[in-house]
Amino acid sequence: MIYMLDTADIEAIKKAVDLYPLAGVTTNPSIIAKANRPFSDIIRDIRAAIGPDRMLHAQVMGKTAEVMIEEAQAMRELDADIIIKVPVTPQGIKAMKALKERGIRITATAILTPQQALMAAVAGAEFLAPYVNRLDNICADGTQVAAEIAHLIDVYKLDAKVLAASFKNVQQVHEIAKAGAQSVTIAPDVFDQLLVHPLTDSGVAGFVSDWEGVYGEGTTVLDVI
């Protein structure tokens, strides 16, 4: 599983980089707008927080392929390794084809159907981002859509990965993992919950109590080895 954090919160990013096996950070226009700072500053600050080897995804806003391509090139001047998010509209697919020819990495976003994902992959997208919770909210099945996308990738031997997005709880992330999605991008509040369980906490507390009852409060293996 490729784990990514869906945020522009620099402190949350630094925390995740420190604690978790984080492969990168994704953003979208809503996340960028919430940060309410110059776009270039946000991108540079995220890159500084994640280092040179992790992925950074940012989205174009143009309504035509030509503007999307110009935006992508401008973003690449800010960060040479940035992965460009492009929505799966007809103009977006056109932009993906052109960006692929230029050797620019692409994430297809705003995916709600397997056919949108399939066409984006054929057009050159490396990551395919279905919106899991948004589908669940309209009585569709976000996990099933992601599973079907993963199946199509396998059937047609495409050089693409599912990047499942839009999660509101840990169970959705778990179901996506079972469905075979290769990667996920998760908001910080849900990401932190992936490791939380009361029996884990009580188990660790029991180990500490038993140990300190014999070797003393605050001791570790280093103190008794």
Residue 71's H or E segment, with its range, is helix 65-78
Catalytic site positions? 85
Cα distance between residue 178 and residue 143, in whole Å: 9
Cα distance between residue 220 and residue 209, in whole Å: 12
Helix (H, G, I), strand (E, B), or coil: what is residue 131?
Answer: strand
Bridge partners (DSSP) of residue 131 are 165
Residue 219 identity? T
Cα distance between residue 81 and residue 57, in whole Å: 9
